[in-house]
Amino acid sequence: MNHIHKNPAVLPLILASTSQFRRELLTRLQIPFTAVAPDADETALPDETPARTAERLSELKARAVAAKHPSSLIIGSDQVAYLGSQRFGKPGRRENATVQLRAMRGNTVIFHTGLCLLNTQTGRCQLAGIPTEVRFRDLSNAEIERYLDREDALNCAGSAKSEGLGIALLDYMRGDDPNALVGLPLIELSRMLRSEGIDLP
């Protein structure tokens, strides 16, 4: 997704992500941007907390594209879902999604979204973490299978696409920004962009 930057005084905005969900969210701010795939190892480090993993990887993704984009503002974001010591990534396969949803039913899962805005002209790096508490209903096996029959949830952390049918799996969501759960915390990102001189309403 490439856009023309008409104002030379404003640094080009780069989204270090191939996620269609993050692209769609960023489009809401009506700022021209380019999406670039980051080459980053997303493996958690030993003894690293889920929150730290999400925040570290958001910065890692931004820095992974920095060399090719000098004098730019680069957005990196990553999300880790966890329940106690158990982490829930993108399931990839239906069998994995079934296991995840059975583990999460009746429980409150934290979806921690890391956000980084890196100015490659000045070196300034803004980093934040936005947690969202998600309470899953005590789902029956039949409800889980019906959901997976109808929703393509294999490419989202925790198998629950809240912007789609996944909302029906939940008792509640609690957090500072509903967009964070989808993958990009727009309220915090807007603060970061304003601090870099980007005009937003």
The reply to whether 78 belongs to the active site is yes
* Token duo for residue 95: 């069998």
Euclidean distance between CA atoms 56 and 46, whole angstroms = 13
Cα-based angle 104, 188, 70 (whole degrees, multiple of 5):
115
Residue position matching structure tokens 């100015």: 119
Active-site residue among 39, 41, 47, 78?
Answer: 78
* Token duo for residue 81: 């879902």
Backbone angles phi, psi at 41, to 5 degrees: -80, 115
Q: Are 65 and 104 contacting, i.e. CB atoms less than 8 angstroms apart?
A: no
* Token duo for residue 37: 């795939």
Count Cα neighbours of 177 within 13 Å in the Cβ-side half-sphere.
Answer: 21
Q: What is the 8-class DSSP label of residue 161?
A: -
The set of catalytic residues is 78
